[in-house]
C-alpha cells in the first residue's frame, strides 16, 4: 500500500514537473516566434554628452596628471575594471582607470568566450536546493541578455549540443535544460530542443555515433572577449573617463582623515610602463579591480592582510574550423575527471577547453603540453573515429587565470565564493574580485554602489543596463553589405569588420589601402587565410594599441587563432605600427623579439614547434622508409645525404612551380632541426614520422615534396603520345 502511494506520488510529482516544463516551454517557443518581447529594460538615459571620438593616449595622460582629484580611480583594465569605469563615469563621477599592460591582456582575453548563465550551476542549485546558486544563475542570465543587446556586433546566441549516450539521460538533461530556459524567462535567447540520433549527426557529423541515443540543443551567448573589453573601455573614454593602458599602480597614496584620525587611501602613484615616468593620481575612492592580482593591490593597502585569491589556470586550444560545424558548439558535461569541456566554433576556428589547475599568479601564464594533451584526449572521446584528432592540428593554445576568491568578511576562509565579492578596507580601498565575464556589468554596479556609500560620493543611479557600447548604435546585421558596395571590400573582410567594429567599421574601411586589383578594390589582407586587413593596424593604434603583441592578440585575434599566421604577419604589422608611432629600427627589432617570445611561450608556439624534436624517434615501417627515401633522393640527386635550398629550387623549376627565396628559406627552416641550413635525410624521416603520428600537420616542405614527386612521376609515366607532346 505504502509502496503504491510512493509510486503514485512520484508519478504525480514527476509528471507534474514535466507537464509544467513542457507547458512553459511551449510558451517560450511561442514567445520566440513572436519576437516583440523586450530582452532588457534599459536604465534611464545617460545625461552626459558622448564624444564623437575617443581621446588619444596622450590626452588621457594629460587628464590623469592634470586633474586635481578624481572621484574614482579604477586599477585594472580587464572586463571588471572597465565595467566599473563605465558605470562610474555614466553616473556623473569624475573617473580614471589605469591598466599596467593592455586592456584585456589578463584573464579577460583568455576566456571560453561564452556569455552564459551556467547550466552546471543550475544543476547544482536544483540538486542541492541552493537558493544562492539559483540567484547567481538568474542574475547571469539577465546579464547575458543585456550584453547581447548592448554589443550585438560583438556577440550573438550560439546553439550548444549536449550529446546523450544513455536513454535515461535524455529526460534528465531535457528537464534541466528546459529549466535553464525557464529561469531566463523572457530573456531566453531561443528555446532548447531535443534531437534524434540521426538529426544530431546531420547537424554535427563529426560526432561519435556509437551508443549515441540523441542530443539536446540549448542556447547561450558567445562573444569576442578582448574586443568586448576594449569596447567597454572605449565607451567609458568617450563618456569622459581618463583611461590609460601601460600605466601601473606602484603604490597607493594615503592621507590622515582629520575627523577619525585614520589613514585613508587617496590615490595612487602610477608609472608609465612605456617611458618609466612616474606621477600621482589623486582620487576620493580607489577601486581594486585587478582580477587574479587582487591580493598584490590589497597588500599595497595593508601588508598584513591575508590572501583571498585562489588562482586556477584554464587552458584552451584552437583547432581548424573543420573540427566543428559552423554554428553549433558541443558540451561534454562529464569528462574523465569530472570537468566540463566545451568544443565551440569561434571566428571560423574551433576552440576546445578548458582545464582547471591550481597555479601561481603570473601576468604571463603558459599552456603546458600536459594540458593540451588532456584536452585532445577528451575531444577524441566524443568525435567520430573517422576524424583523426592530431596534435599537429593545434594552431594556438593559451592559459588564463581564474580569479576565484574567498570572501574576506566570511568566517569560513576555506570556502571559495561562487559569486563576486565587494569589500571595503578600513582605509577605504574598494576591492571587487571573483565573478565571471558575463556578470561584469552587475559586478561593476555593486562596486560603484559600494564606493558611493563608503565615500559619500554624489552620483546618480546606475545607467549601464541597456547602455550601448562602442560600435553598437548604428550596427545592423546587413551593415557589411554597405561596406562591400561603398568601398569594394571582399565580403568576408566586410563581415569581419562589421562584426568587430560595428558602425565604426566605416572608419576602418575609409583608411583601407587601394589594392590596384579589379577586386577587391580596397583592403589588403595581413595573411591570406584570415580577413584581417592592414588598415586595422592603423586603426588599432588609434584604439590605444602600443605594442605588436596588442595588435596580434587583442586588436586582431590572430595570435589566438593561429600562432604561425600571427608570426608571419608580424613584420608587416611592425612596419605599419612603426610608421604610425615613429619607431626607430632598434625599437622595431625589440618589438619583433618580444612578440615572437609572446607567441612562443604564451600562445603555444613552443609546444607546437617542440613536437618535431620531441617525436624525433622514427617509427616508420621499412616500406615507408624506402618510399620517403626515394622522395628525398628526387631532390638530393647527388646523394649528398641532405638537401639545400638550391636542390629544392632546381626541382621546382623543372616542374614550373615558383616560390620566392625567402619563403623557401622559411619552409626549410621549419624542418631544419639542427639549424645548419640544410635538411638531412634523418630530419626528413623524422618529419614524415611525426606527420604519421599526427604530431605535425600542415608542413609545407612535406606537401611540396609530395607534390613534386607526383608531378615528376606523371612526367615519367605518361607516354609522349598521351601527354599531348611530340609529333
Ligand atoms: C580559462 C577561463 C575561461 C573562462 N571562461 C569564461 C566564460 O566563458 N564566460 C564567462 O563569463 N567567464 C569566463 N571566465 C571568467 C572571466 O574570464 C573572468 O572572470 C574575467 O575575465 C575577470 O576579469 P577581471 O577584469 O576581473 O580580471 P583581468 O581580466 O585579469 O583584469 C585584471 C587586470 O588588472 C591589471 N593589473 C594588475 N595589477 C595592476 C596594477 N598594479 N596596476 C594596474 N593594473 C594592474 C592586469 O594587468 C589585468 O589586465 C573564464 C576564466 C578563465 C580563466
Q: SS3 sequence, 191-230?
A: CCEEEEHHHHHHHCCCECCCCCCEEEEEEEEEECHHHHHH
245 lines ligand 1 (CB under 6 A): no
Residue 179: which H helix or E strand, with range? helix 169-184
Nearest atom of ligand 1 to the alpha carbon of 247:
43
- Local confidence band at 497 (pLDDT 50, 70, 90 cut-offs): very high
Q: In this predicted structure, which of 398-402, 410-414, 687-691 has the lowest mean pLDDT? A: 410-414
Torsions phi, psi for 361 (to 5 deg): -80, 125
Nearest atom of ligand 1 to the alpha carbon of 108:
21
- Distance between Cα 489 and ligand 1 center (Å): 35
403 lines ligand 1 (CB under 6 A): yes
Compute the distance between CA of residue 143 and CA of residue 325 in angstroms, rounded to an integer.
27
> Residues with Cβ < 8 Å from 326, sequence gap 6 or more?
345, 348
Mean pLDDT of 396-412: 85
Number of residues written out for the chain? 727
Interval 130-186: pLDDT, tens = 888 899 999 999 999 999 999 999 999 999 999 999 999 999 999 999 999 999 999
- Residues 199 and 122: beta-carbon distance below 8 Å: no
**455 three-class SS:** helix
- Residue with more model confidence, 653 or 14: 653
Q: What is the pTM of this model?
A: 0.88
CB neighbour burial string for 59-69, b if at least 16 within 10 angstroms, e if fewer: ebbebbeebee
What is the chain's alpha carbon radius of gyration, rounded to the nearest angstrom? 28
365 lines ligand 1 (CB under 6 A): no
- Residue with more model confidence, 37 or 346: 346
**Residues of the chain with pLDDT > 70: what percent?**
90
> Residues with Cβ < 8 Å from 342, sequence gap 6 or more?
112, 114, 160, 329, 330, 331, 332, 351, 352, 353, 354
Q: Whose CA is nearest to atom 19 of ligand 1?
A: 436
Interval 657-670: pLDDT, tens = 888 888 888 888 88
Mean pLDDT of 646-656: 89
81 lines ligand 1 (CB under 6 A): yes
Q: In this predicted structure, which of 17-26, 682-691, 693-702 has the lowest mean pLDDT? A: 17-26
- Residues 107 and 402: beta-carbon distance below 8 Å: yes
Grid cell in block for residue 418: 561562487
Q: Does 206 score more than 50 pLDDT? A: yes
406 lines ligand 1 (CB under 6 A): no
Q: Does 521 score more than 60 pLDDT? A: yes
Partners of 255 in the β-ladder: 264
Partners of 222 in the β-ladder: 114, 156
249 lines ligand 1 (CB under 6 A): yes
Compute the distance between CA of residue 23 and CA of residue 216 in angstroms, rounded to an integer.
18
Mean pLDDT of 359-370: 95
Q: Does 675 score more than 90 pLDDT? A: no
pLDDT value, residue 30: 45
226 lines ligand 1 (CB under 6 A): no
What rounded mean pLDDT belongs to the chain?
A: 90
Compute the distance between CA of residue 632 and CA of residue 686 in angstroms, rounded to an integer.
12
**Residues of the chain with pLDDT > 90: what percent?**
68
Interval 569-613: pLDDT, tens = 999 999 999 999 999 999 999 999 999 999 999 999 876 677 666
Of 502, 503, 565, 509, nearest in space to 533 by CA: 509
With residues binned 3-state (H G I as helix, E B as strand, rest as coil), the percentages for the chain, rounded to 5, are 45, 15, 35
Nearest atom of ligand 1 to the alpha carbon of 400:
53
Compute the distance between CA of residue 427 and CA of residue 299 in angstroms, rounded to an integer.
12
Interval 464-480: pLDDT, tens = 999 999 999 999 999 99
Q: Does 4 score more than 80 pLDDT? A: no
pLDDT value, residue 612: 67
Q: What is the separation, in whole angstroms, between the first and last Cα of the chain?
A: 101
- Distance between Cα 449 and ligand 1 center (Å): 21
What is each CA distance from 288 to 240, 255, 291, 295, 549, in whole angstroms? Answer: 20, 18, 9, 9, 25
pLDDT value, residue 418: 65
Mean pLDDT of 336-359: 90
Q: Does 697 score more than 90 pLDDT? A: no
pLDDT value, residue 37: 44
Q: Does 334 score more than 60 pLDDT? A: yes
- Distance between Cα 463 and ligand 1 center (Å): 23
- Whose cell is 621499412? That residue is 622
Residue 344: which H helix or E strand, with range? strand 341-346
DSSP state of 517: S
- Which mutation among 73, 78, 87, 292 tests ligand 1's pocket best, with the greatest number of atoms within 8 A of CB? 78
Mean pLDDT of 374-385: 90
Of 195, 475, 413, 220, nearest in space to 329 by CA: 220
- Whose cell is 589588403? That residue is 524
> Residues with Cβ < 8 Å from 138, sequence gap 6 or more?
117, 183
Q: Whose CA is nearest to atom 9 of ligand 1?
A: 114
- Residues 458 and 315: beta-carbon distance below 8 Å: no
What is each CA distance from 301 to 397, 404, 449, 507, in whole angstroms? Answer: 36, 20, 21, 43
Compute the distance between CA of residue 272 and CA of residue 529 in angstroms, rounded to an integer.
37
Q: Whose CA is nearest to atom 2 of ligand 1?
A: 111
What is each CA distance from 148 to 121, 157, 236, 329, 373, in whole angstroms? Answer: 21, 8, 18, 18, 33
- Distance between Cα 555 and ligand 1 center (Å): 17
Interval 291-318: pLDDT, tens = 999 999 999 999 999 999 999 999 999 9
111 lines ligand 1 (CB under 6 A): yes
Amino acid at each position: 500500500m505504502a509502496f503504491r502511494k510512493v509510486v503514485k506520488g512520484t508519478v504525480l510529482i514527476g509528471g507534474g514537473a514535466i507537464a509544467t516544463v513542457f507547458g512553459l516551454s511551449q510558451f517560450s517557443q511561442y514567445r520566440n516566434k513572436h519576437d516583440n518581447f523586450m530582452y532588457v529594460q534599459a536604465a534611464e538615459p545617460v545625461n552626459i554628452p558622448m564624444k564623437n571620438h575617443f581621446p588619444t593616449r596622450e590626452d588621457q595622460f594629460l587628464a590623469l596628471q592634470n586633474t586635481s582629484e578624481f572621484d574614482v580611480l579604477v586599477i585594472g583594465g580587464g572586463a571588471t575594471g572597465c565595467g566599473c569605469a563605465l558605470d562610474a563615469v555614466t553616473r556623473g563621477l569624475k573617473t580614471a582607470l589605469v591598466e599596467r599592460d593592455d586592456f584585456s591582456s589578463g584573464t579577460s582575453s583568455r576566456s571560453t568566450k561564452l556569455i552564459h548563465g551556467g547550466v552546471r550551476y543550475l544543476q547544482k542549485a536544483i540538486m542541492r536546493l541552493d537558493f544562492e546558486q539559483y540567484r547567481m544563475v538568474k542574475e547571469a542570465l539577465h546579464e547575458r541578455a543585456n550584453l547581447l543587446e548592448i554589443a550585438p556586433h560583438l556577440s550573438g546566441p550560439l546553439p550548444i549540443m549536449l550529446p546523450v549516450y544513455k536513454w535515461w539521460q535524455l529526460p534528465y538533461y531535457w528537464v534541466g535544460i528546459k529549466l535553464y530556459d525557464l529561469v531566463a524567462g523572457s530573456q531566453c535567447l531561443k528555446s532548447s530542443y531535443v534531437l534524434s540520433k540521426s538529426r544530431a549527426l546531420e547537424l554535427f557529423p563529426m560526432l561519435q555515433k556509437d551508443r549515441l541515443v540523441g542530443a539536446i540543443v540549448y542556447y547561450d551567448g558567445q562573444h569576442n572577449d578582448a574586443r568586448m573589453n576594449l569596447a567597454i573601455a572605449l565607451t567609458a573614454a568617450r563618456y569622459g573617463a581618463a583611461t590609460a593602458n601601460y600605466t601601473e599602480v606602484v603604490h597607493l597614496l594615503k592621507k590622515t582623515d582629520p575627523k577619525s584620525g585614520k589613514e585613508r587611501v587617496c590615490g595612487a602613484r602610477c608609472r608609465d610602463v612605456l617611458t618609466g615616468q612616474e606621477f600621482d593620481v589623486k582620487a576620493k575612492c580607489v577601486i581594486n579591480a585587478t582580477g587574479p592580482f587582487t591580493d598584490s593591490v590589497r597588500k599595497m593597502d595593508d601588508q598584513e592582510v591575508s590572501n583571498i585569491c585562489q588562482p586556477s589556470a584554464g587552458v584552451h586550444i584552437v583547432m581548424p574550423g573543420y573540427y566543428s560545424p559552423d554554428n553549433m558548439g558541443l558540451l561534454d558535461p562529464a569528462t574523465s575527471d569530472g570537468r566540463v569541456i566545451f568544443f565551440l566554433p569561434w571566428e571560423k576556428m574551433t576552440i576546445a577547453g578548458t582545464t582547471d589547475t591550481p597555479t601561481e599568479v603570473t601576468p604571463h601564464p603558459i599552456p603546458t603540453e600536459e594540458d593540451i594533451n588532456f584536452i585532445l584526449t577528451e575531444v577524441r572521446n566524443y568525435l567520430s573515429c573517422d576524424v583523426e584528432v592530431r596534435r599537429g592540428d593545434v594552431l594556438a593554445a593559451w592559459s588564463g587565470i581564474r580569479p576565484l576568491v574567498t570572501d574576506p568578511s566570511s568566517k569560513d576562509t576555506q570556502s571559495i565564493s561562487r559569486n563576486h565579492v565587494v569589500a571595503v578596507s578600513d582605509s577605504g580601498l574598494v576591492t571587487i574580485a571573483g565573478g565571471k565575464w558575463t556578470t561584469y556589468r552587475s559586478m561593476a554596479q555593486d562596486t560603484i554602489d559600494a564606493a558611493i556609500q563608503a565615500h559619500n560620493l554624489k552620483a546618480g543611479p546606475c545607467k549601464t543596463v541597456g547602455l550601448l557600447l562602442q560600435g553598437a548604435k548604428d550596427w545592423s546585421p546587413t551593415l557589411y553589405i554597405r561596406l562591400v558596395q561603398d568601398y569594394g571590400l571582399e565580403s568576408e573582410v566586410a563581415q569581419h569588420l562589421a562584426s568587430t567594429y560595428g558602425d565604426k567599421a566605416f572608419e576602418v574601411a575609409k583608411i583601407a589601402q587601394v589594392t590596384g586589383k579589379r577586386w577587391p578594390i580596397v583592403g589588403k589582407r595581413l595573411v591570406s587565410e584570415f580577413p584581417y586587413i592592414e588598415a586595422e593596424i592603423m586603426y588599432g593604434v588609434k584604439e590605444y594599441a602600443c605594442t605588436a603583441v596588442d595588435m596580434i592578440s587583442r586588436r586582431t585575434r590572430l595570435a589566438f587563432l593561429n600562432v604561425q599566421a600571427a608570426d608571419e604577419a608580424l613584420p608587416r604589422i611592425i612596419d605599419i605600427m612603426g610608421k604610425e608611432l615613429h619607431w626607430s629600427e632598434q625599437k622595431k627589432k625589440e618589438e619583433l623579439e618580444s612578440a615572437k617570445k609572446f607567441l612562443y611561450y604564451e600562445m603555444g608556439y613552443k609546444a607546437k614547434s617542440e613536437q618535431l624534436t620531441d617525436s624525433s624517434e622514427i617509427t616508420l615501417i621499412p616500406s615507408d622508409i624506402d618510399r620517403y627515401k626515394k622522395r628525398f633522393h628526387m631532390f638530393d640527386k647527388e646523394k649528398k645525404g641532405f638537401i639545400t635550398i638550391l636542390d629544392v629550387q632546381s626541382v621546382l623549376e623543372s616542374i614550373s612551380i615558383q616560390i620566392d627565396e625567402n619563403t623557401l628559406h622559411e619552409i626549410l627552416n621549419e624542418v631544419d632541426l639542427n639549424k645548419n641550413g640544410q635538411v638531412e635525410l634523418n630530419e626528413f624521416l623524422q618529419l614524415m614520422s611525426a606527420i604519421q603520428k599526427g604530431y605535425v600537420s600542415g608542413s609545407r616542405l612535406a606537401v611540396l615534396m609530395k607534390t613534386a614527386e607526383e608531378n615528376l612521376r606523371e612526367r615519367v609515366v605518361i607516354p609522349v603520345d598521351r601527354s599531348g607532346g611530340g609529333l
